[in-house]
Amino acid sequence: MRLRSMAGGLLWLFGGILIAGGQSDDLHWIKYPSPGSEGPLHQRQLTSENVTSWLATNDVNQYVLRLDDGALMPASLVGDKERAWQQWFGRKYPEVAKFRDDGDYVDKDALFATENGYEIPADGLFHVAHCIALLRRYIDSTNAKSHVCPRDTNSFHAEHCLEALEEFAFNDGVPLPYNHRWSTDVCFT
């Protein structure tokens, strides 16, 4: 892990993920290297400090929210398979769909109401389904050399999900307990 000072903030390079943070909102972005793949280059986590300014300059209706990982993606890039997965997540986990439908995923008060943020009410199957979707996104983006969100090209996340699926399969198909803190991450060029 490298640590270096940068314009009043810090820059970390960890596992192929570039994370910049500090006092300036401009520095709070994440970029997953995606060489040879076309699609959005950056990913920014919406925080209590930047969500209001992001909403002031962006039309949330031009994006689609992935319920399984909080990625806010350009609607023009979202395919039928992804839309079907998100409908399934919405039916299976209505509290998460309500969080989306009520706009809480971009609401400063809802996102950061507690120190731990918003906890996704889910079970172990949520993580299993997310990992299947993530691996499909990873394979599809690798094969097509095109992605919807930069994190879709991240091999470290794919490996994590493969390990989670191995645990599930070799635990007699019993989903392990799962608890996830929500974060909304905008994918953009």
Q: Domain residues of the chain, as ranges?
A: 32-188
Residue type (1 letter), 19: I
The predicted pLDDT at position 30 comes to 63
Answer positive or negative: Cα dihedral of 29, 14, 78, 95: negative
Going by their DSSP bridges, the two strands 42-45 and 63-65 should be labelled as: unpaired
74 contacts 60 by C-beta, under 8 angstroms: no
Question: Is the confidence at residue 26, as pLDDT, over 70?
Answer: no
Q: How many CB atoms lie within 10 A of CB 174?
A: 8
* Torsion angle of the four alpha carbons 68, 70, 74, 76, in this order, in degrees rounded to the nearest 10: 20
Q: At residue 88, does pLDDT exceed 50?
A: yes
User: What is the percentage of the chain residues whose pLDDT exceeds 90?
Assistant: 55
What's the length of the chain? 189
Q: Which of 22-31, 53-62, 106-115, 175-184 has the lowest mean pLDDT?
A: 22-31
> Does the global pTM surpass 0.85?
no
The amino acid sitting at 103 is G
Q: Could you tell me the sign of the dihedral formed by the alpha carbons of 117, 30, 70, 133, in that order?
A: negative
> Mean pLDDT across the chain, nearest whole number?
82
More confident residue, 4 or 34: 34
